[in-house]
Amino acid sequence: MSVHPITLSQTGFVHRDELTYPFEERGLQFGDGIYEVIRIYAGASYLLTEHIDRLFRSAEAIRLDLPFSKQEARNLLTELLNQNEMTSDGIIYLQATRGSAPRVHAFPGDVPANVYAYVQDMPRKTKKLTSGVSAITQRDTRWENCYIKSLNLLPNVLAKQAAQENGSYEAILQKDGKVTEGSSSNIYLIKDGTIFTHPATKHILHGCVRMRVEEFAHDLAVPFVEKAFTTADIPDADELFLSSSTSEIMPVIDVDGIQIADGAPGSITRELQYQYEQDAAITHVNV
Ligand code: PDD
């Protein structure tokens, strides 16, 4: 894997070693900021417009002024890929915070946002995409505005750590028994040929891949029902899968040690994976 050292900052393109922030920084001290993770395949971004649209929705929700328009953001991120001579699979990580200022809770006044974005290699998880992964359930202890892609990720971090310590890939979050989403993904259950997933309310992140899953389901004539399922429904599921920019459409074959159906990725999940690869113009062999 190669290092891609050119980083986009609020002052332009700089080498990553030159990028420093004072410790009185709103993202560091309050988590007062937002972020995006954008998938790159063979050097080209996937769902860039959707991610930028969501970044602007998050910024509006927390009343943060971004120092660029949507079109400028597109151009800057494309330039970031070019400057790093990106040709591999990877991600762009982008974050914007309410800037550097002495620590007081309220907004600091006329302080510009701190923004940075960098590129990192990330191969596709082809083995897991083929065989499926396990998950555990965890209580969703997050706040009411999970549609904002906020830097405040402590509940997500703790849930993912619990999953990892259990040898699992993801933590499926539940509120009063209803599955909201994963610690860093959206979650879907398939029963009798219908896909169920939590509605796109304020209680989940409106995943960019989720938007595509809905379209793929429509194209495949598979009903896509935005209705929360419960943890009690999981053992009877025909198929279960999760989606995210880093995990794509990932089959879940075991939850809390209980096998889903025959323990292999189901046929609808595999059809959705195929649609995803077509849509993202992925040409590499999925081993
Ligand atoms: N996470 N839900 C949560 C809580 C997430 O953090 C993510 C993405 C998703 C899926 O969103 P999308 O399809 O737009 O990637 C759902 C990113 C990958 C992360 O934090 O690393």
- For residue 58 and ligand 1, the question of a CB distance below 6 A is answered with no
CATH for 6-121? 3.30.470.10
Per-residue confidence (pLDDT) for residue 71, from 0 to 100: 98
For 206-226, the pLDDT digits (tens) are: 999 999 999 999 999 999 999
Per-residue confidence (pLDDT) for residue 123, from 0 to 100: 97
- What tokens appear for 131 in the block? 């065989």
- For residue 181 and ligand 1, the question of a CB distance below 6 A is answered with yes
Determine what percent of the chain is predicted with pLDDT higher than 90. 97
Burial of 171 (0-12, 13-18, 19+ CB in 10 A): buried
Per-residue confidence (pLDDT) for residue 283, from 0 to 100: 74
Q: Which of 70, 149, 160, 227 is catalytic?
A: 149
pTM value is 0.97
Numbered ranges of CATH 3.20.10.10 in the chain: 126-279
Query: Ligand 1 test: best mutation among 34, 35, 37, 160, most atoms within 8 Å of CB?
Result: 37
Per-residue confidence (pLDDT) for residue 287, from 0 to 100: 43
E strands, the chain, are 6-9, 12-15, 33-41, 44-46, 90-97, 114-121, 133-139, 170-175, 178-182, 186-191, 194-197, 224-226, 239-244, 248-255, 258-259
Numbered ranges of CATH 3.30.470.10 in the chain: 6-121
Determine what percent of the chain is predicted with pLDDT higher than 70. 98
Distance CA 36, CA 164 (A): 23
For 175-186, the pLDDT digits (tens) are: 999 999 999 999
Please identify, in words, the CATH class of the domain defined by 126-279.
alpha beta
User: Residue ranges of the chain with pLDDT lower than 50?
Assistant: 287
Per DSSP bridges, beta strands 33-41 and 178-182 are unpaired
